[in-house]
Structure 1
């Protein structure tokens, strides 16, 4: 990887003439082609990428207006449509599907100057939040330990960043599929406020594009090697279709670390953290306190974390029912009651954020675990149920709140801390993660 480890550093170097977009793109494509172990980037378009990079360098030389990601080569999750590249969702029945249009978020990234060089691996039909494997592209490994998972289903996205195979990524998050891989691979990942980034161009292959009227659960968002890159990516992709120019990212509540009031919970009986995770998170909180951050321990008033994790499980079932799988799983009365439960949970968290700026908790109870090919319901991690991974990510998902997974110092495998903020205050979580980790 070049000395420009973040997208912001890369585009700054390109703008200043310290590096060329073509050089960085050629280098990235060479690294991808040489990879025989991680298997994160599964398709590329070298001819397009090099032509776009040359055009980016010519624009710099001509003194043209440049976008915030000018000349930066990057990748996106395989499930996101890019015209001319396959979108298979890892399903062999869709191995030859090539969309003729790109997702709105891809168009916006391109308009911002980014160069989409290829796509990263996914789990089959995005059906695993803990692992990334499919019959078309095979299994993706964690760059920190090839015998372990990078997480799922955006495992290819996080692994590509950790392995230096891309400068920036865009993934999706229904059941932690951005945050869990980010934590396991030691990078940053953002699940934005529900509905902020358009979901068009993100649907199973061959399904006609229709408006998604259930955005609270499924979201698309960036992964990066710095918190600042998350901000840039969200700024250029957020806003309703056709109205991006009128959308603005809400400024952070604070720009100085010691001004933050931070709620903290680091463990829970439903998903007790491992010793490694617990030590790393405790050390991070202690470091924050030494820097003047006001730490307030405990769950928000009115929040029963076990109840909300259970409510999230129902909403996932509802999501799949609305998308054609198991439509008879519940009654109308139950759906109404669960919707009230979801909205009550959001109200409780919003009330909490009137006094607290961000809430910090684990992203997962564990670090990256060994690959596990057993049937889903037979898998365990550290003697605990496989789906215990979902507990810590469920609260922001249920309520639609923005959440950043940020890496924290660890003596072993990467550990992720989750930073949750108020509805539409994504940049408060991003800025806190930036300041807390010194990612820039």
Structure 2
């Protein structure tokens, strides 16, 4: 299965393929999967009933949404009526939601059919791997002995293995971008707050909204940049109706017109030779396309300090969730919040003259499964061993500042492991990095 969600939706609308046929095939592939273990629950009767309704709508000329009849999955941590929501934790194994997350409602209104749920790491507590006691370990389709990343590893692996056409995940510490890079698919962390979080929560009744700083973000994973755009278009915007929202137009529609900031390495998370080679070749292709290359970090950005500041924000996030209430004093929180916003303004000034920023998603490709305690884990690279936490370095900058960022595949190693690049864009201009990725992908073909 190589078609994208956008392509399948077009085929269904044109009558070239039926939603039922596509949905049956997808369910069969999921049922036959004995190796990847990416999709952990399905609802075949519901899915086939919705597919039949979708085909009837096409036959009778009813209005069709942009994802009409497309079967897809969502991360197991989203509330979906009639499906289990356990966050991979045995303590919640029996919980079945009776309501839908906002993104599930919006995807359904756009015509998508939520067929099943993808695997997560227990309580979403690992950015590098996906495993839990309820559903077991998810493997990377490119090499079953290696990780698909975490905690949205199930969704990324499902896309790479042809088990879904589209996925919705979450990203606090790179949980969309890292799996996308390791599995060779696309994954978008939208501008923070752009997609409502309602329904992305622990099992139980709906949690009231909050205006506290929240770096956790939800967004799509897909097989193409165009699919990211479609998914974001139908899920973005304020949670409370009535509202009017549209995706901001991209800055350019030709690769040659883009001004591209580039940083390909840093000593805090030095890239492996295979990742570095793919990134360098990609920048060379960009230069030959006519795009303007601007080397170096934005003026005023100390990447090590930004990564450290992001670490504080992660601690604050968990304190706001009820863990370690004595994590920091009010004065420290205020100072760090000012620091965070100051960094966002530095990046925004940078994006007055530069359109997107290209850098690694991770210093490594997918690495072997590792069950050791976090502090003992090491990742072997071409230059030696690197700390497991170094995976966070490259994703920290967009996470800290709330900027939109996506991971896109740019090639593979000689062993067939995918290599991803990260594209960061201006605040609330999500379609600029999406369009850039779309154009760059065409250049790399």
Q: Do Structure 1 and Structure 2 share a fold, with TM-score over 0.5?
A: yes
**What is the aligned partner in structure 2 of residue 406 from structure 1?**
408
| 8 Å CA contact retained: 1:179, 1:405 | yes
In the TM superposition, what whole-angstrom CA distance separates every residue of 1:239-272 from its partner, at most 9, and x where no partner exists? 1113375011100000000000000000000000
User: Which of 271, 277, 280 matches 1:279?
Assistant: 277
User: Which of 423, 429, 442 matches 1:419?
Assistant: 423
Output the CA distance in 1 between the equivalents of 2:74 and 2:439: 26
Cα distance change of structure 1 residues 162 and 226 upon mapping to structure 2, 3 Å threshold: same
| TM-superposed deviation, 1:213 | 2.5
| 8 Å CA contact retained: 2:26, 2:164 | yes
* 5+ long unaligned stretches in structure 1: none
In the TM superposition, what whole-angstrom CA distance separates every residue of 1:273-320 from its partner, at most 9, and x where no partner exists? 000100000000000100101000000001110000000000000000
Output the CA distance in 2 between the equivalents of 1:223 and 1:169: 5
Output the CA distance in 1 between the equivalents of 2:204 and 2:246: 33
| TM-superposed deviation, 1:413 | 0.8
Output the CA distance in 2 between the equivalents of 1:430 and 1:79: 25
Output the CA distance in 1 between the equivalents of 2:212 and 2:257: 36
Q: Report the RMSD for the aligned CA atoms in angstroms.
A: 1.1
**What is the aligned partner in structure 2 of residue 223 from structure 1?**
221
Output the CA distance in 1 between the equivalents of 2:302 and 2:39: 40
| TM-superposed deviation, 1:327 | 1.1
Output the CA distance in 2 between the equivalents of 1:164 and 1:270: 35
| 8 Å CA contact retained: 2:37, 2:154 | yes
TM-score (norm 1): 0.98
In the TM superposition, what whole-angstrom CA distance separates every residue of 1:179-236 from its partner, at most 9, and x where no partner exists? 0000000000000000000001011112651203245410000000000000000000
User: Which of 96, 102, 105 matches 1:107?
Assistant: 105
Number of paired residues? 438
Matches within 5 A, 1:161-180: 161-180=159-178
Output the CA distance in 2 between the equivalents of 1:347 and 1:184: 31
| 8 Å CA contact retained: 2:198, 2:206 | no
TM-score (norm 2): 0.97
User: Which of 411, 417, 437 matches 1:433?
Assistant: 437
Cα distance change of structure 1 residues 244 and 132 upon mapping to structure 2, 3 Å threshold: farther
Matches within 5 A, 1:24-423: 24-206=22-204, 208-214=206-212, 216-243=214-241, 245-382=243-380, 383-411=385-413, 412-423=416-427
| 8 Å CA contact retained: 1:142, 1:150 | yes
